[in-house]
Every structure is written in C-alpha cells, then in structure tokens.
Amino acid sequence: MKAAWYTENGGPEVLEYGDLPDPEVGAKTVLVRVEWISIEGGDLLNRIHVPPRTKPFVPGYQAAGIVEAVGAEVSRFAVGDRVMAFDWNGSHAELFAVPEHYAYAVPDGIDLRLASTIPVPFGTAHDSLFEYGDVAPGETVLVQGAAGGVGLSAVQLAAKAGATVIGTASGKDRLARIEPFGLHHGIDYTSEDIAERCREITGGKGVDMVLDLAGGRGKDKLVEALRPHGRYQVIGAAEGTLPTFNFFELIRKAMRVNGISFGRDMHTTRVRDMLADLTSKVASGELQMPVEREFPLSQVREAHTFVAEGHPFGRVLMKP
C-alpha cells in the first residue's frame, strides 16, 4: 500500500511517502480502504512530541472509506460497508486496519468526504461540553481556537445547548465566518485582550467554562478570563507548545481542570451511540464542518505544513 510515515519526531520534513506492507487483518480487525483522511490536531502533536512506537510509523487518527476485509470475530461490519474509522495511528495510508470497536457506520445520505471529518472533532467537543463539562443553558463558554474543526464543533453544540458562546480567532474576517455557526461574541486574539473582553461580556463575572484548543502561551489569559470555580477543559495544543498549571493558580481560582482525551472512550457503546446521533445531524445539515483544503496523500508534508501554519477554517483532508 501507499502510505506516509516517519521514523523520528520533528516538523513536516520528517514525513516520507511511498510503499509499505499492507496491514495484517486480525480476528477482530476491520480493514478499511481509505477514501478520505481528516488531519487531526493530535496527528501533528504526536509527530512533534511523541516518540514513534514502531518504525516506520504511519501517523493519523481518522479516516473514512469502504470495508475491504474483516476478521473472523467481527460481527457488526461486512465487506463493502461504508465506515468512519479511528485508531491511535495508521490513517495516513491507502489501507487502515482498526479494531471493530473503532469503526462506525456511515449512513445513507452523507458522503465519505464529509463523514471523515466527524468523529474526533464533534466527539471531542461533545465530551468537553457535556460528558465532562456539564454545560447548562445560560452559561458562558469560551472557545479558544474557534475556527478549527473542534472549535467549530464546540461553537455549534454549545449554542444549540443554550449557552452564550465566546470564540477567539485571528482577525475580524475569520470571526465573521464563525458567526453563522452560533458564535455570540468574537475576540480577535491578535489585537484584543481575551481576559479583558470576557470580563466586559460577562459583566465582570468571568466565563463559566474554557475550552482550550490552542495551548501554549495563551493559557494564562484564559485562566484570568475564567470565573472562580469555573471549568477549564484542556483539549489541544494547536500552537505547538504545551502549557502548565501551577499549584497556586489552581487553588486561588478554585478552578476545575479536565483533561479531554476522546480517544480513550471511543471504544464504548456510549460513544458509538453519540457518534451515530452526531452523524445523523451532520447528514441533515443541522451540524456542519467546512473543509478548507484537500491534498493528495503524496503531498503529506505540504498538508501538515498547511494545518500547522495556514490557520485552516474547519478541516483539511487528504486523499490516497
């Protein structure tokens, strides 16, 4: 199969493209012939920070395609089925072998291109807000990095749940593009003080919840924007650097910090049912995910560079 891989951590330049052996099909494996690959934030973070477990290492969390083969113990899928697929690595290839519990049916009425964008962005946002965030109508949610895939998912879900949604992005034009997704207040982080604007919007109270998708140096302003006893959801580090929390800032703010790792729950029946519901809402148009650009998999370096530096709106896809 054609695939992208790396053997050491680094920037997009460590990525290679060429031929690798096809994945093995175990008893509980669903082998997917990939139609579309959605580049997730974790794909970049792992490439930069996490030493590859095997070499060559095929990155990638998420893809959608057609079932090519199934193991002897697989019961929910058959050859020819359309699926969304997840695993901790392996999507950046023509063939993606995943455990059955990481495969999700794609219903009629939605194409595989759009389906490839659903599980990680919408599922991460949903868990951040509801399962581990307990968001309630009338609360104020600050989404740091609202123009990306998880950010746009969170804006939509929070607004539909009756929350007031504040989002950050770079520039007024990008903020204007987010407004139709349910954004109530936009903050241009390149020219505005996030904490100061949040205090203005909330009448000095502070926001009830922060969804931090950017990480890095902006963390301190997000903590400042949070009300006492507020919830801080640590989700991603799009900036590329990893923030830290010290003892006294946690105590003085009496804040609740949750680390969100949606992949840890993606094998569960709860998540399978949730993704089925989210997929039906994307199919109906109730939820949306824009695709900024598409690349052939052979241009994996260019695709990863664009995700890291191009500030894409929504998702960036690759096609084998």
- CATH code, domain carrying 142: 3.40.50.720
pTM of the model: 0.95
- What residues form DSSP beta bridges with 83? 65, 105
State the helix-helix crossing angle for 119-126 and 149-160, rounded to 10 degrees: 40
In which band, very low, low, confident or very high, does the pLDDT at 17 lie, cut at 50, 70 and 90? very high
Asked whether residue 109 falls in the same domain as residue 172, the answer is: no
Asked whether residue 112 falls in the same domain as residue 20, the answer is: yes
Structure confidence at residue 242 (pLDDT): 75
Asked whether the beta carbons of 200 and 191 are under 8 A apart, the reply is no
Question: 249 Cβ partners below 8 Å, 6+ apart?
Answer: 223, 255
Burial class (CB in 10 A: 0-12, 13-18, 19+), 70: buried
Using the predicted structure, report yes or no on whether residue 216 has a pLDDT greater than 90: no
Using the predicted structure, report yes or no on whether residue 137 has a pLDDT greater than 80: yes
Q: Enter the DSSP assignment of 179.
A: G
Structure confidence at residue 240 (pLDDT): 61
Asked whether residue 111 falls in the same domain as residue 125, the answer is: no
Asked whether the beta carbons of 93 and 45 are under 8 A apart, the reply is no
Using the predicted structure, report yes or no on whether residue 231 has a pLDDT greater than 80: yes
d(CA 148, CA 314): 5
Domain with 250, as residue range(s), is 121-262
Token pair 């302003």 is at which residue?
221
| Closest to 118 measured CA to CA, from 291, 293, 243, 279 | 279
Cα angle value 114/58/94 (rounded, 5°): 50
Residue 15 phi, psi dihedral angles, 5° rounding: -75, 135
Asked whether residue 76 falls in the same domain as residue 173, the answer is: no
Question: 247 Cβ partners below 8 Å, 6+ apart?
Answer: none
279 assigned to some structural domain: no
Residue 21 in tokens: 């052996």
Q: What is the CATH number for 49?
A: 3.90.180.10
Name the domain count of the chain.
Answer: 2
d(CA 113, CA 119): 13
What does pLDDT average to over the chain? 96
Structure confidence at residue 20 (pLDDT): 98
Asked whether residue 105 falls in the same domain as residue 217, the answer is: no
Mean pLDDT score, 106-121: 96
Radius of gyration, CA atoms only, the chain? 19
| Helix extents (H) in the chain | 41-49, 112-115, 119-126, 149-160, 172-178, 194-201, 219-225, 247-253, 269-284, 300-309
173 assigned to some structural domain: yes
Asked whether residue 39 falls in the same domain as residue 107, the answer is: yes
pLDDT over 90, % of the chain: 93
Tens digits of residue pLDDT in 194-214: 999 999 999 999 999 999 998
Tens digits of residue pLDDT in 1-11: 999 999 999 99
